[in-house]
Structure 1
């Protein structure tokens, strides 16, 4: 699923035009990003929690040359799925079983 798919689904389910749906998605994403930039955790109950992880500076190795290089410290977003999301994924049929339509 892409951002465009998410916007289209939101527009269809809430009977709004795509411009309004795009604005809603962008506002939500901007708020999540803004909170993470402030060092806050973003908890969407049942879905999961976004947080910032800090990676320490470290020495790495260039795989082509074998040369040691210094890798700078960096921050990254982490996501921990919530119970409702995990439970819904575990209720899915195994990948080896054919999916059945619920239409």
Structure 2
């Protein structure tokens, strides 16, 4: 599902116009992005949690030459699925 399909599904489920649903989704994504960027975790009960993590610096290899390269430390975004979400995915 891409963003437009998500907008269409939210608009159909809520009875909103597609423009209003798109604005709501954009506001949600923007708010979560700002919170996680500032180091806060965002927990949506039943869905999951968004947070930041740290990836340590490490040595890697260039696949074409085999030469060692230094990969710097970086922050990363983590998503941990909630129990209800996991159960819904696993209920076949």
When the two structures are superposed, what TM-score results if normalisation uses the length of structure 2?
0.94
Take 1:35 and 1:87, find their aligned partners in 2: how far apart are those partners? 27
Where is the helix percentage greater, Structure 1 or Structure 2? 2
| Distance in 1 between residues matched to 2:77 and 2:4, nearest whole Å | 22
- In the superposition, the TM-score normalised over structure 1's length comes to 0.84
Number of the residue aligned with 1:61: 61
Q: Give 4+ residue runs of structure 1 displaced > 3 Å after superposition.
A: none
Q: Which residue of 2 aligns with 1:8?
A: 8
Cα-Cα RMSD? 0.9
CA offset at residue 12 of structure 1?
A: 1.1
Q: 2:33, 2:17 → 1: CA distance?
A: 25
What's the counterpart of residue 20 of structure 1?
20
How many residue pairs get aligned? The number is: 92
Q: Deviations over 1:32-68 (max 9, x none)?
A: 1111101111100011111111111111110110111
Runs of at least 5 residues in structure 2 that lack an aligned partner in the other structure = none
2:60 match: secondary structure:
strand
Q: Which runs of 5+ in 1 are unaligned?
A: 93-103
Give the superposition deviation at 1:69. 0.8
Q: Distance in 1 between matches of 2:89 and 2:47?
A: 11
Higher relative contact order (CA 8 A, sep 6+): 2
Aligned equivalent of 1:32? 32
